[in-house]
Structure 1
Amino acid sequence: MSIAKIAAPRRRRRTPDEARREAVASARRLLLAGGPDAMTLSAVAADIGVTHANLIHHFGSAAGLQSALMGSMVADLNQALTTAVARLRTDEGAPLELVNAVFDAFLEGGAGRLAAWIAMSGDLSHLEPVREAVQDLVHAIGEKMGESGHARERIGSAVLFIALTAFGESLIGDPLRNMLDQPENATRSVVASLLPYFVGKAEV
């Protein structure tokens, strides 16, 4: 009895932009399914039916692909934050919506695990999209609240608080909450309840 060979993924012509988009989408799927270790150039190449050399051509290295993926995740986060920030002043539920947008990006979107992976590699230049995102968020909240000066510093502190908490939640939230017998949404609720003290009109 002969053993049938498994056909390799059929390769097709792609524009450079198409190849990059497909590679980033594949990297995100692999990250969410197996963590950063699963997101290798070889795995991505096999998933989308291109050569390893082709991915090197487009991204330069595995770190370049990770940086592109982080940029894609940050773009998704910014879209969610645009709506959340617009509601901060008028909607009592807006602080939780803002917190949820950041937490969802770090957890469901995989940005927390990827950021940790990049940070551990020692090349923090690939976290540049994150820096731009948090600065944009500080600016957007400041414009919405009509504040500047010392108030802008407090807004920066609020963003730092949200981002660090979301990052920690993405890495160790489940076991830590279980140790403390806390519900699944406990961290988000605590952060949302404190956010008005940072961005409210009154000095703290």
Structure 2
Amino acid sequence: MSIKDTSPVRRRRRAPEEARREAVASARTLLLEGGPTAVTLAAVAQDIGVTHTNLIHHFGSAAGLQSALMGSMVEDLTRALDRAVARLRTDEGAPMELVNAVFDAFDAGGAGKLAAWIVMSGDLSHLDPVRAAVRGLVEAIQEKLGDIDPADAPQVRDAVLFIALSAFGDALIGPPLRGMLDQDADSGRRVVAGLLAQSLPRAAKG
């Protein structure tokens, strides 16, 4: 376990946008290493070498900084889901490729922890930008299956919900839970892919 250097940091002048980017990047690291309570103006100011007053100027409050962090990480999650859609449209490895794409999206950049933080904050409006990406994922799965009977379309949405919930849980508690059960790092993905292999083909026309 590394010990964070708490010695005074030499301050330097930055353009406003540069300062905001550095503050958000620092806040993300603090979130992933110490959880939401670690994301404070004082901690970020110390990390990037600015004054507490300077951060208030840029973000207004700790809540403003946290909101900017949420926005940045949601953008990353949206891009990751978009990449998952692109992979599904070019790769023949479904359902395992499908599962890997979604699990990777929730694992990348701490997106699983971000989602939990947003839910706990009670302000779900931060997740609005993800809506289009999730719908794109549903459409990509439908394309994978070929012609879908309209009556079976809900089954595809069920599949996306199942994969996303599994990926979210794996990102949050997967490592310690797998350790308790003596399972390897990909065990959760294999379970989900196996269940999908049994259900998804039934949604397509024969």
Matched, 1:202 2:174: no
What is the TM-score normalised by the length of structure 1? 0.75
In the alignment, which residue of structure 2 is the partner of 1:124?
124
| Structure 1 residue aligned with 2:77 | 77
CA distance in 2, matches of 1:146, 1:57: 53
CA deviation after TM superposition for structure 1 residue 118, in Å: 2.5
Secondary structure in structure 2 of the residue aligned to 1:110: helix
CA RMSD across the alignment: 3.1
Preserved contact between residue 85 and residue 144 of structure 1 (Cα < 8 Å): no
Once the two structures are superposed, residues 118-151 of structure 1 have per-residue CA deviations (whole angstroms, 9 ceiling, x without a partner) of 2223222333344444234334444666667445
What letter corresponds to residue 44 of structure 1 in structure 2? V
Distance in 2 (CA, whole Å) between partners of 1:124 and 1:160 is 17
Q: Name 1:91's counterpart in structure 2.
A: 91
Instruction: Output the TM-score relative to the length of structure 2.
Output: 0.74
Q: Does 1:161 align with 2:162?
A: yes
Q: Identical aligned pairs, as a percentage?
A: 69
Give the CA deviation at 1:188: 1.0
Tell me how far apart the structure 1 counterparts of residues 158 and 127 of structure 2 sit (CA, whole Å). Answer: 19
Please, which runs of 5 or more residues in structure 1 have no aligned partner? 1-5
Per-residue CA deviations over 1:17-53 (Å, capped at 9, x if unaligned) read 3233222211122222222222222212222223334
CA distance 1:98–1:128, shift in 2 (3 Å)? same
- Aligned equivalents of 2:29, 2:49: Cα separation in 1: 15
Q: 1:187 to 1:48 in 2, by over 3 A?
A: same
Deviation at 1:89, TM superposition (A): 5.4
Q: Do the aligned residues in 1 keep the contact of 2:102 with 2:164 (CA within 8 Å)? A: yes
How many residues get paired? 197
